[in-house]
Chains A and B, each alone.
Chain A
Amino acid sequence: MTKLKLYLLVLVALVVCSAKADEGMWLLQLMQQQNSIDMMKKQGLKLEANDLYNPNGVSLKDAVGIFGGGCTGEIISPEGLILTNHHCGYGAIQQHSSVEHDYLTDGFWATSKDKELATPGLKFTFIERIEDITDIVIAKIAAKEITETESFGGPFLDKLAKELYGKSDLKDKKGIVPQALPFYAGNKFYLFYKKVYSDVRMVAAPPSSVGKFGGETDNWMWPRHTGDFSMFRIYADANGEPAEYSAENTPLKTKKFLPISIKGLQEGDYAMIMGFPGRTNRYLTVSEIKDKMEASNAPRIKIRGVRQGVLKEAMNASDKTRIQYASKYAGSSNYWKNAIGMNKAIIDNDVLGAKAAQEAQFAEFAKAKNNADYMTVVAKIDEIIAKGQPIEYQTTCLSEVFFGGIEFGTPYQIMDKLKEALKQKNDSAITANIEILKKVYTSIHDKDYDHEVDRKVTKALLPLYAKMVPADQRPAIYNTIEKEYKGDYNKYVDALYDTSIMSSQENLDKFLKKPTVKAIENDLATAYSRAKYDQLTALSEQIGELPDELALLHKTYIRGLEEMKLPVPSYPDANFTIRLTYGNVKPYSPKDGVHYKYFTTTKGILEKENPDDREFNVPAKLKELLLNKDFGRYAMPNGEMPVCFLSTNDITGGNSGSPVLNANGELIGCAFDGNWESLSGDLTFNNDLQRCINLDIRYVLFILEKLGNCGHLIDEMTIVE
């Protein structure tokens, strides 16, 4: 789902926000005001607003937090036990793994608390309090203490957060971190007091053959059979307050934990998710979406396609190259596919048409209101996009070719420093820079780099870039190629790859034996790297104030849209703050003749099993359990064992690990992915295609108890049967 992050972002983003029941990443603090609690009750919720979020007491919110840097986790026992995704705990599991203790491969099960592994650097963050500070910010703007643009900015908001924190009753509490953020493009501001625990220990993780079952192949896909979970525990000092790791620390007595329902689920059941969605851009104009398609996706598709062609050929020709470049290729092709899929989905789903209709409606609204700002805002955005688009296009071309495509180069700043040191005969500086240079050489020519393959890539990409970007906008090396190599790209590239100091160990040794200013000045790769960074700087200078201007316009546009939609409530774009989304358990039909059920079972694990494919290995013990149908109390009434299920919740990257709750607020699953079809769509756009993929809590407990023999953990929990 790390991948899902960027992907869904933009796409979901583009979906028109006509706030259907399933759509919306709602702010907890606005639930009462926006009447969303009534909508939720209509959908089946049996709780009151205060049960979900209570500014003055304990609520479900207090069992949900930020896990590490980019995931969500939930508290499932009074002793601080955390449930999150396997891919969220992955870094920690990897950190504890060695050849002797390969927890990635074999899984990890702490059989008692003293076996739980301290994980330095890992934090768990609760949201202690949320305060509306919009009025304060507006007053500061009105008093001209700050400009409107500054009001969105990190420096101002950080300062403000610290000021307010200094005056608050939480000032002396341990682990409190204040954070102020803009919402609705700066129409609202909230201050979050976070409580950060930093002694978090690893408790349980299934083997990757369970937790990552299906690997890359199944990523984004449904039907899915991944047991994507891991468990951690929060430890606190003697007073139950955040503290750095200490052997004396004890499990946190949590004020709230989620009861777990193993009663199972049915199609249409109410389901809600609380978590920390990362980013969305749902309030773009037609021009902005077109910009995304033409200035970003289109050149990316073209350039990556060419590079991948070169890589594929080299990989087919040699097993060594295949292994070296497998991950690079996959990384490139992931967003290449994404760009293709996104452009296709935008067209297939007539996103531009829908956005245009919204803009037309907005124009009517602005006229009726006689609001001059509203009447002109879209045109102004269009104007900025028109100015910025060529620059963005060039930035994409530059970064895809010179930063994402070609790997070779030389750290010209180090070379400059070395040159300076040589001129000044500063021996210690010479030695220091030479040491750095040696390290850089190893990092360029690492085990996954093949100089010859990279040379081929460069030979293909340099001329391609020249075709795509006007002559006066290219890095300076194109002058060199034109003048000194008579426009012969191959000749230039061969010289670059053969003669540069960093080209080979031999060249480097020769240079280091007798480093000279002249050698540095004549070095092709140094000039090459300098040129690409210079061009990047030039482009960012050209962009100049445009992003700030755009931000202001967005503030106006989003305020207008919100007004227009009233009384239908609006939600702000995701920004990694706590949100709630509600919907239902629901299957879908991805295409003519095909139906996907809302759940999968362990049958599918055996169907997908392939001992020869690492992604689809099934651990022997799990297989035995499945074949013997040894499912304990976790099976469905028909005797089958559930694995994953679908819901209509509106999530994105950052929501990974989020609790899925039923109408009673009991935990029924753990969100971990989104489905592919929501991106590549239908002929007519259909919101029904978008689904959130969740791990069924019964499968989590089954694995924990039967595969991990961790009955003692289940004893900690409150299970509703």
Chain B
Amino acid sequence: MKKQILIAALCIASLSAQADEGMWMLTDLQAQNAAVMRELGLEIPIDQVYSPNGIALKDAVVHFGGGCTGEVISAEGLILTNHHCGYGSIQQHSSVEHDYLTDGFWAMNRNEELPCEGLTVTYIDRILDVTSYVNEQLKKDEDPNGTNYLSPKYLKKVADRFAKAENIEITPATKLELKAFYGGNRYYLFVKTVYSDIRMVGAPPSSIGKFGADSDNWMWPRQTGDFSLFRIYADKDGKPAAYSKDNTPLKVKKHLTISLAGVEENDFAFVMGFPGRNWRYMISDEVEERMQTTNFMRHHVRGDRQEVLMAEMLKDPAVRIHYASKYASSANYWKNAIGMNEGLIRLKVLDTKRAQQEQLLALGRKKGDESYQKAFDDIRSIVAHRRNALYHQQAINEALITGLNFMQIPATAEITSALRSKDNAKIKKAVENLKKAGEAYFNSVPYTEVERAVGKKMLQTYAGYIPQEQRISIFKVIDSRFKGNSDAFVDACFAYSIFGNKESFDKFIQKPSLNKLDKDWMILFKHSITDGLLQTAIAMQDANKNYDAAHKVWVKGMMDMKQGNNTPIYPDANSTLRLTYGKVRSYEPADGAVYDYYTTLKGAMQKEDPHNWEFVVPAKLKELYVAKDFGSYAMKNGEMPVCFIVDTDNTGGNSGSPVFNGKGQLIGTAFDRNYEGLTGDIAFRPSSQRAACVDIRYTLFIIDKYAGASHIIKELDIVR
């Protein structure tokens, strides 16, 4: 499931939030949720989960990299997260000689742990409700446009002001984040500490960590060992520091206890993590818009691109390694978009939405409050106005920006202005800079033929969806100079552009000229794309201007309505720390069929297909399976558990999140959601949404028995 979005569908699906549905703010737990959680099976006091002034489970849950969650599982800073969260790092360390993606990686001692440049781990030290402070500030602020209430830049300033006023200690590793919630009806400040010396400790081969790959992504039943291990390093004082070989493993203030007791149906479970984004307060028109623009383009454009990429990847292992991560991230939301649209239709989400908004509008009429109706009308008209522009924008985004790696060419503004100035010093400096940027660019796109094939396909795809008269300006050139043959245009880019190949580039660097820059195909193309985006943005500008204000009012209405009904509330996900709770539960994907709440290693053997890379089973794993050499990690009946599902409310960003039992012990790592969560028919199966988790017993089995890394097991606190 990886990052983001999925939620849109969930969310939209069920506003009639049951007690176990919601991405709760930790600060609201005591007041809103603790009683229900205890009733469902939480055995520890809520302040052991989150305590504003003390150490709690929260202090072992970290933001991993940019978009995942990780949990600290040893006193020496060992972090458990998903394989797909560590994927970028594993890839970064991989080469044809050391193919850690294919073979896995296990540091057999601390010296072998590999530093990961650019990777960070972030602790949330404090969470403060600063709504009234921000509102005070906003009142004082003379904002001519009245848009500061959502402006990150403005809120950053307010955060600094607040920290100063409240004497919050700021170190170089401290990060303040003040975010708007509920569309700007509430504000929270997060005080964070960022660690930047993170090292790779262990990763299973992709045939375990990504078993099932694209075919099984979003699917249940699942047998994926989707985990990897990293470690936080700090300076000798235990403070965050940039990489140094003198750094030592962080002595953490809190780490999780691991339970090998396993899970049973209906066991209570909760999950903490950083869900990315969702849109549970959309009106029905916005849902439709989403289906017809973003999801539509994701589905069709990505499908086309992936087909080309896959063909190339199957031909050459080096190409496969280079594009593996790009392909995976594309396929991830390609499938999501398809599933979401299917689900939105079959779940009759639009009907549900309409019923709900009607309820709020009725409430407004009853109270004599016209603001809801006005907000609703505004949003509708905004959506209607921006339809075509948004459709075009998504086509550009998917086909020409995300789709074309070779268009990430270096900026040429500096060299252009230098040449124009005829100032030799400036020219020299600009050439130096361009040379560096060019090196980086050519390193990033080593496979010209793949880029060319993708480029041709993407231009055709784009032209297929956008009528001739609306296309970006480069198509006029393609029409006039290339007789409408976009393939020939792509060929011309690679043949003649200064970024088309290394020789052309070197030649240009030797003798830079304005004339060359002005007529360069790739540069013209890039400008045309930028211009196209700008045009769509301008077309939407007016419509969007009033959206935020209307949305804020609408969300306020929803909050009021729920609170009026004594229903607990939670804001849309925004990559801040949340908690969701529920139960381990099987489900019925269709009449007559039941999906178990757990899977076993037997399932991996059933799916094994040596001819399909997605379902290859490593020989050693098979040996262990056949010998039933499961150590102390097997279930009572002797089978080896792999994954299980819980009915908690997760989304992308929750990837890697710890799954706790009622005692607050770690029982698994969340990594995906199920397809039926999107496609089930809500009228008949109200409860088919599940989060898929790697059973911690499988994780330990792989570390211990498969990798033979028992030194890692020794670091852990394990209860049986």
- Chain A interface residues (CB < 8 Å from chain B): 222-225, 591-597, 599-601, 603-604, 606-608, 682-683
| Nearest-CB residue, chain A, relative to B601 | A592
Interface set, chain B 188-240, CB cutoff 8 A to A: 220-223
A601 and B594 in contact, given A592-B606, A593-B220, A682-B606 (Cβ under 8 angstroms): no
In the bound complex, do residue B598 and residue A683 qualify as a contact, i.e. CB atoms below 8 Å apart?
Answer: no
In the bound complex, do residue B603 and residue A591 qualify as a contact, i.e. CB atoms below 8 Å apart?
Answer: yes
Q: Does B650 interact with chain A (Cβ within 8 Å)?
A: no
Return B645 CB to nearest CB of chain A, in Å.
9
In the bound complex, do residue B603 and residue A592 qualify as a contact, i.e. CB atoms below 8 Å apart?
Answer: yes
| Nearest-CB residue, chain A, relative to B589 | A594
Return B593 CB to nearest CB of chain A, in Å.
6
Partner of B595, one of A224, A225, A593, A607: A593
In the bound complex, do residue A222 and residue B592 qualify as a contact, i.e. CB atoms below 8 Å apart?
Answer: yes
Q: In the assembly, what is the distance between CA of A224 and CA of B595, in Å?
A: 17
Q: Does B451 interact with chain A (Cβ within 8 Å)?
A: no
| Nearest-CB residue, chain B, relative to A601 | B591
In the bound complex, do residue B602 and residue A223 qualify as a contact, i.e. CB atoms below 8 Å apart?
Answer: no
Return A648 CB to nearest CB of chain B, in Å.
17
Chain B residues whose C-beta falls within 8 Å of the C-beta of A223 in the assembled complex: 590-593
For A591, A601, A608, the residue with the greatest tally of chain B CB atoms inside 10 Å of its CB is A591
Partner of A597, one of B593, B599, B603: B593
A607 and B684 in contact, given A222-B592, A593-B598, A600-B592 (Cβ under 8 angstroms): yes
Q: Does B328 interact with chain A (Cβ within 8 Å)?
A: no
Identify whether the interface residues of A are mostly helix, strand, loop, or mixed. mixed
In the bound complex, do residue B599 and residue A593 qualify as a contact, i.e. CB atoms below 8 Å apart?
Answer: yes
| Nearest-CB residue, chain B, relative to A683 | B605
Q: Does B614 interact with chain A (Cβ within 8 Å)?
A: no
Partner of A592, one of B586, B592, B594, B602: B602
In the bound complex, do residue A594 and residue B221 qualify as a contact, i.e. CB atoms below 8 Å apart?
Answer: yes
Return B617 CB to nearest CB of chain A, in Å.
12
A592 and B599 in contact, given A222-B592, A607-B590 (Cβ under 8 angstroms): yes
In the bound complex, do residue A594 and residue B596 qualify as a contact, i.e. CB atoms below 8 Å apart?
Answer: yes
Contact with A along B478-509 (1 / 0, CB 8 A): 00000000000000000000000000000000
Chain A residues whose C-beta falls within 8 Å of the C-beta of B681 in the assembled complex: 606-607
| Nearest-CB residue, chain A, relative to B221 | A593
Q: Does B278 interact with chain A (Cβ within 8 Å)?
A: no
In the bound complex, do residue B594 and residue A595 qualify as a contact, i.e. CB atoms below 8 Å apart?
Answer: yes
A593 and B593 in contact, given A606-B684, A607-B684 (Cβ under 8 angstroms): no
Q: In the assembly, what is the distance between CA of A597 and CA of B222, in Å?
A: 20
Indicate the size class of the contact surface on chain B: 20 to 34
Q: In the assembly, what is the distance between CA of A604 and CA of B221, in Å?
A: 20
In the bound complex, do residue A594 and residue B594 qualify as a contact, i.e. CB atoms below 8 Å apart?
Answer: yes
Q: In the assembly, what is the distance between CA of A601 and CA of B603, in Å?
A: 28
In the bound complex, do residue B590 and residue A593 qualify as a contact, i.e. CB atoms below 8 Å apart?
Answer: no
Q: In the assembly, what is the distance between CA of A600 and CA of B586, in Å?
A: 18
In the bound complex, do residue B591 and residue A592 qualify as a contact, i.e. CB atoms below 8 Å apart?
Answer: no
For A223, A592, A607, the residue with the greatest tally of chain B CB atoms inside 10 Å of its CB is A592
A591 and B606 in contact, given A603-B684, A607-B681, A607-B684 (Cβ under 8 angstroms): yes
Chain A residues whose C-beta falls within 8 Å of the C-beta of B222 in the assembled complex: 593
Q: In the assembly, what is the distance between CA of A596 and CA of B220, in Å?
A: 15
Q: Does B699 interact with chain A (Cβ within 8 Å)?
A: no
Q: In the assembly, what is the distance between CA of A321 and CA of B128, in Å?
A: 68
Chain B residues whose C-beta falls within 8 Å of the C-beta of A683 in the assembled complex: 602, 605-606
Q: In the assembly, what is the distance between CA of A599 and CA of B588, in Å?
A: 13
Q: In the assembly, what is the distance between CA of A420 and CA of B600, in Å?
A: 73
Chain A residues whose C-beta falls within 8 Å of the C-beta of B605 in the assembled complex: 683
Q: In the assembly, what is the distance between CA of A593 and CA of B223, in Å?
A: 9
Chain B residues whose C-beta falls within 8 Å of the C-beta of A222 in the assembled complex: 592
Q: In the assembly, what is the distance between CA of A606 and CA of B590, in Å?
A: 10
Chain A residues whose C-beta falls within 8 Å of the C-beta of B221 in the assembled complex: 591-594
Q: In the assembly, what is the distance between CA of A31 and CA of B681, in Å?
A: 49
Chain A residues whose C-beta falls within 8 Å of the C-beta of B592 in the assembled complex: 222-224, 596-597, 599-601, 604
In the bound complex, do residue A597 and residue B594 qualify as a contact, i.e. CB atoms below 8 Å apart?
Answer: yes
Q: In the assembly, what is the distance between CA of A223 and CA of B606, in Å?
A: 20
10 new A-B contacts at CB < 8 Å, known A593-B598, A597-B594, A607-B681: A225-B591, A591-B603, A593-B220, A593-B221, A593-B222, A596-B592, A600-B591, A601-B592, A603-B684, A604-B590
Chain A residues whose C-beta falls within 8 Å of the C-beta of B600 in the assembled complex: 592-593
| Nearest-CB residue, chain B, relative to A646 | B592
Q: In the assembly, what is the distance between CA of A606 and CA of B346, in Å?
A: 11
In the bound complex, do residue A603 and residue B591 qualify as a contact, i.e. CB atoms below 8 Å apart?
Answer: yes
Interface set, chain B 662-720, CB cutoff 8 A to A: 681, 684
Return B218 CB to nearest CB of chain A, in Å.
15
| Nearest-CB residue, chain B, relative to A606 | B684
For A222, A591, A607, the residue with the greatest tally of chain B CB atoms inside 10 Å of its CB is A607
Q: In the assembly, what is the distance between CA of A592 and CA of B639, in Å?
A: 11
Q: In the assembly, what is the distance between CA of A31 and CA of B600, in Å?
A: 43
